[in-house]
Every structure is written in C-alpha cells, then in structure tokens.
C-alpha cells in the first residue's frame, strides 16, 4: 500500500470511527465502530465495559488496511502491552508513511513502541528529521531499527556530539552513520570512541573510509580480530605518517563488509580452524591486558598516596606513572 493511499485511508478512518461515548464517560478512549454518537454499537459498549485499558478494535484495524491475521496480532500486542496511547502511536506511524505490514514488523521487533505516547514519538521523529534524516532514509531506519523510537533524544544527542567532537566527523557524516549503523546509539560511549581510535590509529583508516566500509556496524572485538589476523599473517600494515605502506593493504570493504567465509577464502587465505584458534588467543590476550591495566591502575594509586605522604615538596612527578594515550584528535579530517 502506497504512502498516499495510507494517508487517505487514515483520514477516512479518523473521520468515520469516532470515540465511543460510553468509553469516554468511563475514562477509556478506545477506537470503536461507532459512526455517530446517537447510534452506539452494542458490541462496542460491551467491549469497553470489560476493557481495563485503551485499545484498537479489530474492525478499525481492518479498515485502515491490516489483514485479518495482522489485525489480530496487532490487537493482541496492544492488549498485552496495556499501552494507553496505541491509537496515537499508530496514527503517527501511518502519517510517517509506513504501511500496515511495516508497522506490524516494527511492533514485532520492538514491542516497547506499544507503550509510547504519540506526542513523544512525533517529537523524536521530528528530531531525527532535524538531524538530516530525510523521507525514505527515515522510514528505512525505523523499519530496520525501531528501537530508535524509544531512545531518549538526550542519548541521540550525546552520541552525535561524541562523533563530531571526539571523532571529528562532519554533521553529514554523523547523519550517515546514524542512518547506516543506528546500533551505535546503544553502544557504550567509551567503547565507541575506542573503536574509532583503533580504526584511525592502528589501522590507518580515515573518516570517509570508515563510513564507506560501515566500520560502526562491526563490534570492536571482531574488528580487532580480523585486522590483527591479517597483520600477523603479513597481509596488512599500518600506514606511516605519510599514509604509505610497504605492502598493498586489502580494501577495507573486503575486510569488514563480507562474511567470515569470504574474508577467509579471498582475503586472509586461511582456514576456519586457523581463524577460530586465533580468535581464542586474541580473547586470552585481551583478558591479560585487562588484568595488567587493572594492576597498573592500583599501583598508580599507591604510588600517588606514598608521594603525598613522604615527599610533598617533589613537584616534578617523576615517580608518578600515568596511563595515558595521546589520541591525536587535532588531526585534520580526511
């Protein structure tokens, strides 16, 4: 069903299916099959009497384009969620341009949407539009990752600010990241920043390349594993300050944007067994690194306390160890 047809049916539906007066008097606001206030449908009245929360009726869902099976599933989901604003949420999704089939898939992926308020949903959709997500891209992103509709606007702004200020992506590049990899909105901010650092400094990848290869779709552990596996096999080398290498590195798309099977057969030239053994070794190395960092942090605290107690006049800090990584954020975008 096209967007124009959906909106036309929605207007007809909102005009024809009025709020049941019995429900209104009892504080409930379900959509009923009442066409005029003085012709109350008995079945509607009975349903409202036994309904503790607002909900859509099967007939109203059928009227706007849901099949019988889809209407039953939508009705069941709304009932289980006990959401009080399902009609307004459904209205917002229809006005967004999603057809009934897409709406049902959104609800299946993210049942939390049932519990949203229509006003909150509209506010979040408008905020995404202001960030540059235009029609088409916005609908596809919501269909693929409906959880973005339940995330607070504050969270979206935090991730966007980190990508701009710490990772030096442009505003348009941030929009592209959110469109192609909306999962970053749920990622831990420290891990997200470290993933950028790893791709930028260890792999020598610039912002535009990261976008093209969709780096942020891959987990940090998988990114490190694929990169280090190639590096230790002599198939990948970190570029120097001039961006040069002694070997020709494989295109980043071939490293990250392919299945594990394709990666092993066409890029790494290795067997599945070799890669799985290497993955286990990498996991062990990371665990050991974590323990060393924890020990080093504890030792720094002890040294700091001893320094304050025994040598207050020593200002050069030569005995105080600091675990610091020069991130080089002042480098230009490329």
**Residues contacting residue 30 through CB under 8 Å, at least 6 positions apart:** 19, 20, 23, 47, 48, 51, 54, 55, 56, 57, 87
d(C-alpha 191, C-alpha 160), whole Å: 15
Among candidate residues 74, 72, 71, the one with its CA nearest the CA of residue 83: 74
| Cα separations in angstroms, 54 against 29, 36, 87, 89, 153 | 5, 20, 8, 12, 27
Torsion of CA 287, 293, 294, 296, to 10 degrees: 150
- DSSP-derived 3-state class of residue 69: helix
Residues of the chain with pLDDT below 70 are 1-55, 292-334
Among candidate residues 169, 213, 163, 203, the one with its CA nearest the CA of residue 332: 169
Residue 61's pLDDT is: 87
CA atoms within 13 A on the CB side of 238: 12
Residue 201's pLDDT is: 95
pLDDT tens for 138-195 read 999 999 999 999 999 999 999 999 999 999 999 999 999 999 999 999 999 999 999 9
Residue 304's pLDDT is: 58
């Amino acid at each position: 069903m096209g967007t124009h047809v959906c909106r036309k049916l929605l207007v007809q539906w909102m005009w024809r299916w009025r709020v049941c007066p019995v429900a209104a008097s009892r504080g409930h606001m379900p959509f009923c099959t009442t066409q005029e206030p003085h012709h109350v449908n008995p079945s509607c009245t009975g349903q409202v009497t036994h309904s503790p929360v607002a909900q859509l009726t099967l007939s109203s869902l059928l009227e706007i384009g849901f099949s019988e099976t889809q209407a039953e599933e939508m009705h069941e989901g709304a009932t289980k969620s006990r959401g009080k604003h399902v009609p307004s949420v459904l209205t917002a999704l229809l006005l967004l341009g999603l057809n009934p089939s897409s709406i049902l898939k959104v609800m299946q992926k993210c049942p939390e949407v049932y519990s949203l308020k229509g006003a909150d949903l509209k506010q979040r959709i408008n905020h995404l539009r202001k960030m540059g997500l235009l029609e088409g891209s916005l609908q596809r992103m919501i269909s693929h990752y409906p959880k973005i509709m339940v995330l607070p606007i504050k969270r979206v702004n935090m991730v966007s600010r980190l990508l701009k200020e710490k990772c030096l992506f442009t505003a348009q590049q941030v929009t592209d990241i959110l469109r192609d990899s909306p999962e970053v909105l749920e990622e831990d901010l420290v891990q997200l920043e470290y993933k950028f650092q790893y791709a930028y400094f260890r792999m020598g990848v610039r912002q535009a390349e990261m976008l093209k290869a969709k780096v942020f779709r891959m987990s940090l552990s998988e990114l490190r594993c694929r990169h280090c596996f190639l590096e230790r096999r002599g198939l990948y080398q970190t570029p120097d300050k001039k961006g040069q290498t002694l070997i020709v590195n494989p295109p980043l798309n071939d490293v990250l944007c392919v299945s594990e099977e394709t990666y092993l057969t066409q890029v790494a030239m290795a067997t599945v067994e070799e890669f799985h053994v290497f993955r286990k070794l990498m996991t062990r190395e990371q665990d050991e690194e974590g323990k060393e960092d924890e020990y080093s942090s504890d030792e720094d605290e002890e040294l700091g306390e001893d320094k304050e107690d025994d040598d207050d006049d020593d200002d050069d800090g030569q005995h105080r160890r600091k675990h610091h990584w020069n991130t080089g954020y002042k480098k230009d975008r490329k």
